[in-house]
Amino acid sequence: MRFQSRLRLLTFVLFLTCCAFQLHAADPLPSWNDSAARQNIMAFVKKVTTEGTPDYVPPELRIATFDNDGTLWSEKPMYFQMYFAVDRVKTLAPQHPEWKTQEPFASVLKGDYKTAFAGGEKAVLQLVVATHAGMTTTEFEQIVNKWSETARHPKTGRLFTEMVYQPMLELLAYMRANGFKTFIVSGGGIEFMRPWTNRVYGIPPQQVVGSSIKTKFEMRDSGPVLIRLPEVNFIDDKAGKPIGINSHIGLRPIAAFGNSDGDIQMLEWATGTSGARFALLVHHTDAKREYAYNTGAVQALKDASEKGWTVVNMKDDWKVIYPPLKK
């Protein structure tokens, strides 16, 4: 009898364990606290995926667009692509002795990024042209790949590709599990992102929209190549985002996710029409676990409150910021 009752107890414990495990496995957004942001997301997804309702959207029209910098990964102390640019400047410096005295390169080589980028857009463009052009697309992909596998964030020591938001990784997977196609629509360089977005976000190259420089087709003895030219082709920011979306996707998103003033037009484009629509802003409120700032997002936050866009309060809404490090 004692044996039997123990067996019964054991069975019961096993049963509870299974239940707990199943409950856990059934939560698609485990890193989100059960606050309004999470509830709004899940209510929207349920609404557009429930057949027979007026808000139902067929899978082929379930397009969700995500900004990258500050929305899927961190963007401080400066855009990660700028770390790529300054790392490239350091690598290329031996071939460019003139950079020792020429701005913004001189400041970059001294490690004084503040002075380097004080030149604003012009300085950024000079750095991008010097570091992102002049090679084939294949060569550039290899350069980005190598960088993304080794370059680390100055504050956390993580690889930059480990500075992605765990709650957003869960959100991407959750949207896809519900029949959405997830796209990146970023002001960042399209060919700077594509080499690693599939590995990191599960987003393949053809679903990445970004800024670009022009390319040129050339036949070489070794075969055809595309050369990256020192000339801006498209800036995928602000009013450029709906244009980039229209050009690359050809469908209007029904959900859009951003964090800054550069995302306003994308969120307007996604929501400013009839039918169930969803817009979300990530608000950086967590000085301890990430960064806390409104700079560059003041208008977007104002619009969000006026237009009923969902705002993620990072500090309160997210249980964790970054994914656990792989051992």
Q: Which is nearer to a copy of itself, 63 or 321 (CB)?
A: 63
Quick check: 269 and 256 in contact, CB under 8 A?
yes
Q: Which is nearer to a copy of itself, 150 or 206 (CB)?
A: 206
Cα separation, 29 vs 325, in Å, equals 19
Number of neighbouring beta carbons within 10 Å of residue 171? 26
Cβ 224 to a copy of itself shortest distance, Å: 5
Nearest to 91 by CA among 155, 161, 150, 137: 150
Cβ 109 to a copy of itself shortest distance, Å: 32
Residue 29 CA neighbour count, 13 Å, CB half? 21
Cβ 73 to a copy of itself shortest distance, Å: 19
Interaction site with a copy of itself (CB under 8 A): 60, 137, 181, 190-191, 194, 198, 204-208, 212, 215-217, 219, 223-224, 226, 239-240, 242-243, 246-251, 265, 268-269, 272-273
Q: Which is nearer to a copy of itself, 126 or 211 (CB)?
A: 211
Q: Which is nearer to a copy of itself, 38 or 181 (CB)?
A: 181
Q: Which is nearer to a copy of itself, 228 or 284 (CB)?
A: 228
Eight-class DSSP state of 102: S
Cα separation, 290 vs 173, in Å, equals 22
Cβ 148 to a copy of itself shortest distance, Å: 15
Cβ 250 to a copy of itself shortest distance, Å: 3
Q: Which is nearer to a copy of itself, 103 or 141 (CB)?
A: 141
Quick check: 284 and 292 in contact, CB under 8 A?
yes
Phi, psi of 65 (to 5 degrees): -115, 135
Cα separation, 20 vs 137, in Å, equals 49
Cβ 286 to a copy of itself shortest distance, Å: 31
Number of neighbouring beta carbons within 10 Å of residue 150? 10
Q: Which is nearer to a copy of itself, 28 or 179 (CB)?
A: 179
Cα separation, 201 vs 207, in Å, equals 11
Nearest to 296 by CA among 259, 252, 265, 241: 259
Helix axes 36-49, 166-177, angle to 10 degrees: 20
Cβ 246 to a copy of itself shortest distance, Å: 6
